[in-house]
Amino acid sequence: MLTTEQPESRGRTRFILKKMLGSLLTLVFVLVFNFVLFRIVQSDPIGSLFRGRNVPAAKIADLRTAFGLDESLWVQFWAYVRQTFQLNFGISYQSRQPVWNEIVSAIPATVALVGISAVLSALIGTVGGVIAAWRRNTWKDHAITSGTMVFYSMPDFWLGMILLVGFAVVLGWFPVGGMTDAGTSATGVALLLDRIHHIFLPALTLTLAYLGEYALVTRSSLLDVMGEDYLTVARAKGLRDVVVRNKHAVPNALLPVVTLTAINFGFVLSGAIAVEAVFSWPGLGKATADAIRGPDLPMLQGLFLLFSAAVIFFNLLADIAYAWLDPRVEGA
């Protein structure tokens, strides 16, 4: 017996394919823009790197040749495209190491810091938003909304410096920076505890900084669905208030939170440049700050492309999740 694909399934497939094509075209645009942008901003990176130093012109010319900067823009562009598909982003001007190796070595630190903070802020902020909406205009609502907005309104680097001065410098409870103690030979559990000790303050900074957006988006979305007829019907059936909230109201209110979570996870790889710089955390954010100060054109190009690809990928995941959670978006 032959079976035919259901119209709903076909519509979902078309929707997902359309989003995938859009993501691919966006990535191509980013690839071209990445090349053009840094050539416009930094037309002579080797000359800028050694500006003010007594470096022989012959050495500068040799470096331009070594980095392929003496070729025409078209030749540089096609070499850039070919090397990008090979994960070859060139050689860092500062470290003289392959850019991809530098990026890979910094990824674990950033994923650990920003990933933990993103998960904690999403969980705590969403729960706080649910409580604030369900108990609106009560002291719980006012306390959660006001408290999270206070932290959200603070620049994350300023909040980080406050925590650093208070808990690391004045009280001495935490280290002032780095990922481990200098010169440590700890291994196993001792090394893990040492890293937890170092990651606590920067992770707390980022978690507090992004609680507000999750709490407010969740609260607003839940308030929108609380007046729907299906909730009235559920209460009329005699369901307890907590069941109506958790099984009927909250699942329908979480669609905007899905998008927000996906977008924030897209920025996980980009790290938090200011916070990583404040706490000297050796991740991609600090690598970006160091490359900007250089300036280190190959490093900046590689980081920018990686960050853009991460955002595009996680936005695509959000669109796919939407298609499964709410079939209505397939017609959008």
> For residue range 28-44, what is the model confidence (pLDDT) as tens digits?
898 888 887 766 655 55
Q: Which two tokens stand for residue 215?
A: 């709490």
pTM across the whole model:
0.74
Backbone angles phi, psi at 98, to 5 degrees: -55, 135
Give the span between the Cα atoms of 105 and 96, in whole angstroms. 15
Query: Given a cut of 60, is residue 17 above it in pLDDT?
Result: yes
Amino acid at 238: G
Mean pLDDT score of the chain: 77
> What is the reported pLDDT for 2?
44
> For residue range 33-74, what is the model confidence (pLDDT) as tens digits?
888 776 665 555 555 555 556 666 666 666 666 666 666 777
Cis bond upstream, residue 295 (ω within 30): yes
> To which CATH superfamily is domain 107-295+303-323 assigned?
MetI-like (1.10.3720.10)
> What is the reported pLDDT for 1?
43
Mean pLDDT of all residues in 131-142? 84
Give the span between the Cα atoms of 286 and 283, in whole angstroms. 6
Q: Evaluate whether 181 touches 175 at the Cβ level (below 8 Å).
A: yes
Q: Which long-range contacts (CB under 8 A, 24 or more apart) does 19-24 make?
A: 19/316, 19/319, 19/320, 20/316, 23/312, 23/313, 23/315, 23/316
Minimum mean pLDDT range among 39-43, 87-91, 227-231: 39-43
> For residue range 171-198, what is the model confidence (pLDDT) as tens digits?
888 888 777 766 666 677 877 887 888 8
**Domain residue ranges in the chain:** 107-295+303-323
> For residue range 247-266, what is the model confidence (pLDDT) as tens digits?
667 777 777 787 777 777 77
Q: Which two tokens stand for residue 110?
A: 């950033």
pLDDT band at 106 (very low <50, low <70, confident <90, very high): confident
Beta bridge partners, 98, equal: 91
Residues constituting the chain: 332
> What is the reported pLDDT for 220?
84
Residue 146: exposure state from Cβ atoms within 10 A (0-12, 13-18, ≥19)? exposed
Percent of the chain that is helix, strand, coil (3-state, to 5): 75, 0, 25
> For residue range 284-324, what is the model confidence (pLDDT) as tens digits?
888 888 888 777 778 888 888 888 888 888 888 877 777 67
Q: Which two tokens stand for residue 272?
A: 């938090």
pLDDT band at 25 (very low <50, low <70, confident <90, very high): very high
Distances (CA, A) of 139 to 142, 159, 269: 5, 25, 37
